[in-house]
Each structure stands twice: as C-alpha cells, then as structure tokens.
A and B are shown apart, each in its own frame.
Chain A
Amino acid sequence: MEFLQNSLHLDPNIAFLIWTLLKIVLIVAPIMGAVAYLTLAERKVIGYMQIRIGPNRVGPFGLLQPIADGVKLLLKEIIAPSAADKKLFFMAPVMVLIPALAAWAVVPFYPGYVLADVNVGLLYVMAITSMGVYGVILAGWASNSKYAFLGGMRAAAQVISYELAMGFALVGVIMVSGSLNLTQIVAQQGAGIGGGSILSWNLIPLLPLFIVYFIAGVAETNRAPFDVTEGESEIVAGHMVEYSGMSFALFFLAEYANMILISAMASIMFLGGWLSPFPASWPVLGAASPLWWVLKVAFLLFCFLWFRATFPRYRYDQLMRLGWKIFIPVTLVWIIVVAAWMQTPWSIW
C-alpha cells in the first residue's frame, strides 16, 4: 500500500481501494482453484472408496478434468423456464455464491494475513453464511416447478434448524476465548496449560461442540447424508432442477466454496488454525505455520467426502429430529458445563 501511495502518487483513499481489491483477488483466486480441484478430489476419493479409479482420461491422472468440466458448462446453453420469474431465476445462483465468497473477508490465514481484522469476525461469518439460503429458496420459487419448490422449502427448514445448533456451538468458543475476533480465537488456543500443542486447542475441552458444529456444517452445505434439498432420488435435483450450464455451475461452485469455508472455520475455532499440534517448545515441528492450517482444512474436507461415500441419506423427519432434539440440547448442556467449569479453580482457560 505504501508503494502505491509513494511511488505512484495516488490519493490515500484510491490507494486503499486498489490495495484491498488486490487482496480480494489474492484470496478469491486460490479459493476458486481449490473449488475446482476439490471436485476432482471428490470424484477420485469416492472412486477409490468404491474400488473404482475415478476420472483419469483428461490430462495426467485426470488432473485437467475440472477445467474440461468448467469449459463444458460454460459452453452449454442457459435455459430459463418460460413461466419462471426471470430476474430472480438468474439472481438466485449469484446470491448463493456471493455469501460463500464474502465470508472469507474476515478469515485469517496467519496473524496479520487477513483482509479485514474486525472485532466481530465470528458473528460476521455467521451473518454472511446465513444469507446463502436465500439463493436456494429463491431458486426453488423462481423456477416455478414443483420439484424445485420442494427443494427450496426443504432447504429453508433445514438451514434454520441447523443454524441454531451451529450458533450455540459457537457460543462455547466465544466463552472460552473471550473474543469474537478470529485471530484472537486462534491465539487463545496457543496459550493455556497445554503449552500450545494439540492439548491446548479447543478440540478436546469442546469436543461435543466441535462434533455438533461440523455435522451442522455438513447439513448447512446440503451435503450427503443431509442432501435432502437436492435428493436426486426423490426430487430430482431440488432447487437446481431447472438450471443449466453456467447458472447450474454457480450453485456447484457455491456448495464447494461453502465446504471449504466450513472446514476453514472449524479448523480456526477448534483445531487451532495455524498452530502446530506439537508443543511450541519443539524445534521446527512446534512452529506455527499456515501449512498446518492447510493440512487441517484438507483433512476436514476429506471428511466431507468420506461422509458422502459412507452414509445413506437421512430421512426428512430423522434429520429434523437430529437438529432440534439432539444437537440443540447437547450444545446447551455443554455450554452450561463449560460456563461452570470456567468459574472453578480447575479452569484451564
């Protein structure tokens, strides 16, 4: 930013704008790359789990497959149903994708390496991700199709149910770290009696909350086994049934971008972000590094794929029961346990 201001003699406001735009590109471009290769990873991982090879024709080991898929989708014709609400029909995929990318504004990659280090970072992520459901509901409504409408309705009910459990899980994290700032939440996990190792992360003391958060995250992103929104065996593809070409691809991009976001947030809040799992006193291995963060995110993303290959789809009433009658009580009880724990002399925070 100093370079823009001093060497190019720009107005501070304009220099700030250009610098911010550059940082946005630096964040969004790798995410889009990760999304593309996550689709390939999914097909490969599930392929091997089902004793198949997965895509291996385009490029070496099928490495160019995502690009071929992207080109194919770009070249396809975009069709809108004649009875659709055209404006909302084309706005809906954009409204799904934008929140999935906008939430990255406050996600820190390393202390200081963050677009906006705001005080209410955690709440901001909650707020922005909760808006993604509008795109799904509107896609369902604007398509003017029964299958799509059912998908939209299911999405609305499901996301609201699981967002509550997710919010409660975050309350536990906020309590122990005493901050809504994501960088400070990670920094707090490096302190404590665990000496900055895996023992001082939020993972072990908040294990029930971590499990609830991650499973609710799977449900929020409409991934298997919670993919009743798309449920291709019951309602074809749910809200996406009328979409084709690039407008369909946007839904796809958003789903994978949301998976990466949920994994990133889970690793920041419970798995110590860029902190090493080894004690900080160890040489090299104990040092904090963004590489640890990438490894944790990659592991959680693998879990997403693993779930999809393992579990059959939930029945709708079971899904609602899990959200309301199991997850919410579990989180409420654990918040009270943690709150009581913090007041005792045995508090580790």
Chain B
Amino acid sequence: MDLSLAIFYVFAVVLVFAAFRVITAKNPVHAVLYLVLSFFNSAVLWMLMKAEFLAVSLIVIYVGAVMVLFLFVVMMLDINFEALRKSFWKFLPVAGTVAGIMLVEMVLILTHRYAKIDAARIVEPSFNTASAEVLGKLIYTQYFLPFQLAAVLLLVGMVAAIALTLRKRKNTKYLNPGDQIKVKREDRVRIVKMQSEPRIVADDAAADDKPAA
C-alpha cells in the first residue's frame, strides 16, 4: 500500500473519532482538547495535499492561539453538559430536519455541473517552490480586494470587542506606569545624617561584676 494513503487513513480515522468525541465528551475541557486533536489531524491531511503553509498556519492560529483562549474560557465557566443534554430528544426532530436540509443543499451545490470543483483547484506547487509563495502571489494579485475586505472585517470585529469590554470604573486604583518608573530614591526615602549615640547600659548590667565599658 502507498505510504501516504496509509498516513491519510490513520489521521482521517483519528480526525473523525476526535470530532465525534467533541460533541459526546462529558467534560467541556475534554471536549476542547478533542477539538484541538481534530484540528491537528486536519492539518496533517492538508499537508498530505502539499498545502504545507495552510497546514502549519492552521496549527499556529487555531491550535496555538484560538483554542488556548477557548480553553481558558471553558475552564473558567462552570458548564454542566448533562443539564444541557436533558432536552436532547425533544430538539432532535427539528435539529435533524435542519441538518438534513443543509446536507441536501450542499450536495446539490457541489455536484452541480456549474460548480466546477475540479477547475477550482489551484496549481499544485512543484517540489521546490514554497506553497507560501504561490498562495501569496494569488492573494496579492487575483484576490487582492476580497483579502483586504476580510482584513477590514476582522478589524471591525476587534474594535467591536474592545468597545464592548472597555469601561472605566470609578473606584479603580490605576497608576500611570510612566510615573511609577520615573520615581527616584529621593522621592521615597530621606537619609538623615546624625551623630552616633553611645549605648546606654541597663541598670542590672551595671550591677554585675563586669567592668562597665
């Protein structure tokens, strides 16, 4: 058997298992970790398609940053998955119908003769050219406008998130870091010069037979 085919099946099986466990795991932290595992496996599948730049960016962005924040949030929340699952059977018919419609729609679109899935493939990079270079050339020439629009969209999202969370509290004890750094020793401590004083010997010590110094 071809080695890359064997690798594909191993990682695809783990991917499907991990994705299944994401929705069935009892503990939310375990569910997030299975999601990380499934991202990792899909990155390997992309690498098998010679899209090494995309594969590594998937890990850098999703596994390295987004999922860490996600894990951070999930750990802080006290979610009880059992309580959420109680009405599973009640919602199943509606959810199943929606899922079925979406599936049929996707199959219809992707198999339509105007979809031209084969034509949508980008040119496979040859052995020595970096796929990052191929991708960069496409993004900055052919897809320049959509790329910039996506960037603006992300910026809007970022500004919105900051605007939602930024608030000034009245009782905050905020100090200007610049002022803190500017502080010199003279601002805090005053050194006073004074004469040294002779030690006062206690009365009972003087009563001892030791000669007083």
CB-CB contacts of A188-213 with B at 8 A, as 1s and 0s?
00000000000000000000000000
> What is the CA–CA distance of A181 and B59 in the complex, to the nearest angstrom?
18
> What is the CA–CA distance of A119 and B130 in the complex, to the nearest angstrom?
6
Other A-B pairs, 6, CB within 8 Å; known A127-B56, A160-B68: A119-B52, A120-B130, A126-B64, A130-B65, A152-B75, A157-B72
Which residues of chain A are near B69, meaning CB under 8 Å? 156, 160
Complex contact B68–A156 (CB within 8 A): yes
27 example contacts (A-B, Cβ-Cβ < 8 A) are as follows A85-B27, A85-B29, A88-B29, A118-B52, A119-B52, A120-B130, A120-B131, A123-B60, A123-B132, A127-B63, A130-B65, A130-B68, A131-B59, A131-B64, A133-B68, A134-B36, A134-B71, A141-B75, A153-B72, A156-B69, A156-B71, A160-B65, A160-B69, A163-B64, A163-B65, A180-B130, A180-B132
> What is the CA–CA distance of A320 and B63 in the complex, to the nearest angstrom?
22
B3 close to A (CB within 8 Å): yes
A153 to chain B, nearest CB (A): 7
> What is the CA–CA distance of A92 and B65 in the complex, to the nearest angstrom?
18
B11 close to A (CB within 8 Å): no
Among A119, A141, A157, A321, the most chain B Cβ lie within 10 Å of the Cβ of A119
Complex contact B132–A131 (CB within 8 A): no
Which residues of chain A are near B8, meaning CB under 8 Å? none
Closest to B27 in A: A85
> What is the CA–CA distance of A133 and B64 in the complex, to the nearest angstrom?
8
B177 close to A (CB within 8 Å): yes
Which residues of chain A are near B75, meaning CB under 8 Å? 137, 141, 149, 152-153
A124 close to B (CB within 8 Å): yes
Chain B contact patch, size range: 20 to 34
Complex contact B72–A127 (CB within 8 A): no
> What is the CA–CA distance of A13 and B53 in the complex, to the nearest angstrom?
25
A83 to chain B, nearest CB (A): 14
